[in-house]
Structure 1
Amino acid sequence: MKTFPRGLLAASCLMFASTSVLAAAPTGINPRVLGTRAIVACDAVEKSCGVASISFPAGISGLVPYGRPDVAVASMFYPSVDDAEAVLARTDAGDTAQAAVDYVFTVDPYADYRQLAAVKLNSDGTITVGQQTGAESASQRCAVKGATFVVQANNQTTATICEAMATGFQKAKGSLPQRLLASLKAGARVGGDNNGERSGVIRVWSSENEAVFYTKVLADAVVHSSKHALRELDVEMNRYQAGVAAPYASDLIPLDKETAKVVKRVLHKLGYYRGRMDATWNDAAEQALYDFNWNNSFFLKPTVVVDGQRKIDGPLVNSMRDADLDALAPASH
């Protein structure tokens, strides 16, 4: 793919003299496999920003998402790291997300072949969003902007997919990674990539999660070339959140009878729990959960009582339900 001379867009952030003439599509790229849907969002309470995207070709994890805890970008159709970096530079200079995207489109000679979304979390907690889709982007393209998010897509089986993803995100509960995943699932219920969906990525950056001590990546899940990409993306993200991320109160779920059975079953198979295999929760089960976390997770995730109801971390439960038990540390007695 042709790119800008290094530093061109960064320099353009300081001064712009004339409107660029739009160029023909870059050569050497197979446009047949292009087509992606994505959501970009920030959360002022969590102080995090992220991108969730699913598409056909492998490699979108290195093409579509770009960002950090205060800004996230999805670069699509003919993706461009130069465009993504220019958006970051413009927002650092004080532009809103929309102004940054608009400006990049004026200086990018391949703007007609881009689809670009950005969401910026400002230091005062306000959020701005921006989006543009080039005129030569694939058919069945769409975009929806909300107060804290942008959904965009191209080369889809239906142009209604953006509205479905936006609604799914707004109705979802939990941490930002969980809501981004819910948006992808909501879109899948109405359509998808015309080529099929085989690869996906969810990446979220945070500046305040306890995990920032060692990483600003709050969630990271990647799937390449799988017929069940969305399902595997779900599994991988919950494994990451359960194993690496600190827990969020918004991800707590009731420890009901079925959930207790799931957790106790895994703890029993790994040798942590030796008690009764029923739907109750007792001190032995709690100790087993503690021991499991001690051997497998960066952060301990015990059950907690909220307003008289016992709850447990949802990503932890999901990861245990889908666990490859051979990949987890068994109990050592």
Structure 2
Amino acid sequence: MTFSIVGRSVDGRQHGVAVASKFLAVGALVPAAAADVGALATQAHANLAFREQGLALLRTGAAAADAVAGLVAADPGRDDRQLGVVGATGDGATWTGPRCHDWAGGRAGDGWAAQGNILAGPHVVDAMRDAWLAGAALPLPQRLLAALRAGDEAGGDRRGRQSAALLVVERRGGYAGTSDTVVDLRVDDHPDPVVELRRLLDVHAMLFGRPDPATLLDLAGPLADEVAGLLARAGHPVGAAGLDDALASWAGVENLEERLVSGRIDPIVLAHLRRATGERD
């Protein structure tokens, strides 16, 4: 009823899960991840205890294959389970119990594992694998989602579509460096959940992505004048505290504070300010 991919970033700092299913709110059940530890997906007749148990095994330094073997060996319902695990290093691992509904199976390699059940066929998981391998240059959230989308476009869950989710973690990689959750997005009930998940990730990247230092623009001269005028039009005029303060006031309302740099402006912030005030990008 579900297809998923667990993966690790090329630099090893991020771990995550992307999943889709003809099932309500799949993101509430399948994925689990911990920074510097790994990620897993439990599905088919999901054993939710696998989430904490699997991460606990990975914390001991167990390889993904050993974590899968330990979880499966201790579970009397293993024949109806499906599981994918990736650890801090090494190959991912996957398990498909012999009583999982056809088509069911998985693939795994260095830093990833993809699996699914009640799929249109093995080509679904193969498409996920191929997209994952082709996406090494992408940030992990986008790479996981590209693999999930490839599986969806290859036929995905043969019963249809309903929900999808994306979870990515990194030590202090979350909002303002105060959490390990980089991305936690869920589409609980939607006719095209993977497409909707992609839209949400695009919004998330705009709002919470960090600015690229190479693209920052100096807030000086005509650009500073333009930004001041746009801020005034948006109801945040520049006062005695200066342009940075007015920009921060507006950005806080727009949830763009993660993209602020004193004395400079992110082109993404500038484009959003222009759109918000009716100017062209």
* Residue number in structure 2 paired with 1:79: 46
CA distance in 2, matches of 1:47, 1:240: 19
Letter in 2 for 1:219: V
Question: How far apart, CA to CA, are the structure 2 residues paired with 1:104 and 1:80?
Answer: 10
- Aligned partner letter, 2:152: A
Matched, 1:105 2:72: yes
Question: Which deviates the most, 225-234 or 87-96?
Answer: 87-96
- Residues 197 and 210 of structure 1: CA distance in aligned 2, closer, same or farther (over 3 Å): closer
Conserved? CA contact 2:104–2:117, under 8 Å: yes
Aligned residue identity for 2:22:
F
How big is the shift at 1:131? Answer: 1.2
Deviation per residue, 1:210-269 (Å, 9 max, x gap): 6362221101211122112111111112222322x34276xx99xxxxxxxxxxxxxx9x
Q: Name structure 2 gaps, 5 residues minimum.
A: 216-229, 235-245
Question: Which of 202, 207, 220 is 1:238 aligned to?
Answer: 202
Q: Are 1:137 and 2:100 counterparts?
A: yes
In 2: Cα distance, 1:118 partner to 1:212 partner: 28
1:193-212 to 2 correspondences below 5 Å: 193-209=157-173, 211=175
- TM-score norm. by structure 1 comes to 0.65
Deviation at 1:312, TM superposition (A): 5.8
Q: CA deviation at 1:299?
A: 0.9
Give the conservation status (yes or no) of the 8 Å contact 2:6–2:86.
yes
| TM-score of the two chains, using structure 2 as the length reference | 0.76
Inter-partner Cα distance in structure 2 for 1:77 and 1:197: 15
- The question of whether the paired residues in 2 share the 8 Å contact of 1:86 and 1:104 is answered with yes
SS of the residue 2:40 aligns to:
strand
Which of 256, 259, 262 is equivalent to 1:300?
Answer: 259
1:18-37 matched pairs, under 5 angstroms:
35-37=1-3
Partner of 1:182: 146
| Runs of 4 or more above 6 Å deviation | 288-292
Partners of 1:301 and 1:163 lie apart in 2 by 41
- Structure 1 156/289 Cα, relative in aligned 2: closer, same or farther at 3 Å? farther
Asked whether the 8 Å contact 2:128–2:147 carries over to 1, the reply is yes
* CA distance in structure 2 between the aligned counterparts of 1:156 and 1:210, rounded to whole angstroms: 33
Deviations 1:135-184 (A, max 9, x none): 10110112111211111011011221111011112222421101111111
* Cα separation, 1, equivalents of 2:176 and 2:105: 35
* Cα separation, 1, equivalents of 2:71 and 2:58: 11
- Residue 59 (structure 2) pairs with residue 89 (structure 1): no
* 1:43 is aligned to 2:9: yes
Within the candidate set 25, 35, 40, 1:59 is matched to 25
The 1:112–1:219 alpha-carbon spacing in structure 2 relative to 1, beyond 3 Å, is same
Q: Is the 8 A contact 2:174 2:182 kept in 1?
A: no
Contact 1:67 1:73 in 2 (8 A): yes
Q: CA RMSD in A?
A: 3.8
d(CA) in 2 for partners of 1:248, 1:144: 35
Q: Name 1:150's counterpart in structure 2.
A: 113
1:44-87 per-position Cα deviation (integer Å, ceiling 9, x unaligned): 52611110001111121111001111211100001112122221
1:159/1:247 Cα in 2 relative to 1: closer, same or farther (>3 Å)? same
Percent identical among aligned pairs is: 24
| 1:225 to 1:210, Cα distance in 2 relative to 1, 3 A | closer
Looking at both structures, which has the greater relative contact order when contacts are Cα pairs under 8 Å and sequence separation is at least 6?
A: 2
Unpaired runs of 5+ residues, structure 1, are 1-34, 254-267, 273-287, 303-310
What is the total number of aligned residue pairs between the two structures?
A: 252
Task: Measure the CA separation in 2 of the matches of 1:289 and 1:191.
Answer: 46
- Structure-to-structure mapping, 1:216-235, within 5 angstroms: 216-235=180-199
1:171 aligned partner, one-letter code:
A
Give the direction of change, closer, same or farther, for the CA distance of 1:247–1:82 in structure 2 (3 Å limit): same
Q: Work out whether residues 209 and 246 of structure 1, in 8 Å CA contact, stay in contact via their aligned partners in 2.
A: no
Offset from partner CA, 1:246-303 (integer Å, 9 cap, x none): 4276xx99xxxxxxxxxxxxxx9xx66xxxxxxxxxxxxxxx998864542231168x
